[in-house]
Amino acid sequence: MRRNSPRWAGAFAAPALVFVALGLVLAIHHAPRVLAVGDPLPALQLTDLDGNTVALGSVASRTAVYNVFTSWCPACNEELPEMKHTAAVLSQRGVPVIGIDQGETAWEIERFAASNGLHYQLLMDSRRITTGRLGARIIPETLVVRDGIVRRIIVGPATSAQILAAVGGG
């Protein structure tokens, strides 16, 4: 029994497969690279709650902790007591903890910070550039950076013990 398809249909199948394979290779090659331990912290500019531009990595300290979160994220709220404790301990050592909120307004972040007693620097990532540039696709995500190099990445709720150990002397 013979199929009723034109003879030329087979002539298009091989080039189409090559085209699809080439597209996949190019997509993988040009996909944003996820940040890894040992990588330099990417140069990013975010906004603080007063509307000032802040360059990530421009902190005066040689070591910093960056925590990517949102106020509506259950896991972010779960880790909040740990982040507050960590920020209090590290502030005594001159190591800043910097919260990076993904996608919320200054008003929403200020309200969240006030209701939760947050006293560390908070930045807005209204365009969610940390998703691609830091690889923060799952939040919360915490990065410990020393001398501009990512030393530890914690995906999911971080504990104070994990962060302090990564900073050193914890």
Confirm whether 33 is domain-assigned.
no
60-109: pLDDT as tens digits:
568 999 999 999 999 999 999 999 999 999 999 999 999 999 999 999 99
> Which residue(s) pair with 45 in the sheet?
55
pLDDT, average across residues 8-27: 46
CB 150 within 8 A of CB 39: yes
Q: Check pLDDT > 70 for residue 38.
A: yes
Annotate 111-147 with b (16+ C-beta within 10 A) or e (fewer): ebbeeeebebbbbbbeeebbbbbbbbeebbbbbbbbe
Q: What's the pLDDT at 23?
A: 47
Alpha helix positions (H), 49-168 = 74-91, 106-116, 129-133, 160-167
CATH number, domain with residue 143: 3.40.30.10
The total of structural domains in the chain comes to 1
Structure tokens at 72: 């509506």
Which residue range is the domain that position 157 belongs to? 45-167
Please report whether residue 94 resides in a domain. yes
The answer to whether position 32 is within a domain reads no
CA pair distance 43, 142, nearest whole angstrom? 17
Residue 5 lies in a domain: no
Residue 35 lies inside a defined structural domain of this protein: no
Look-up: residue for tokens 């947050």?
118
**Residue 26 pLDDT greater than 60, yes or no:** no
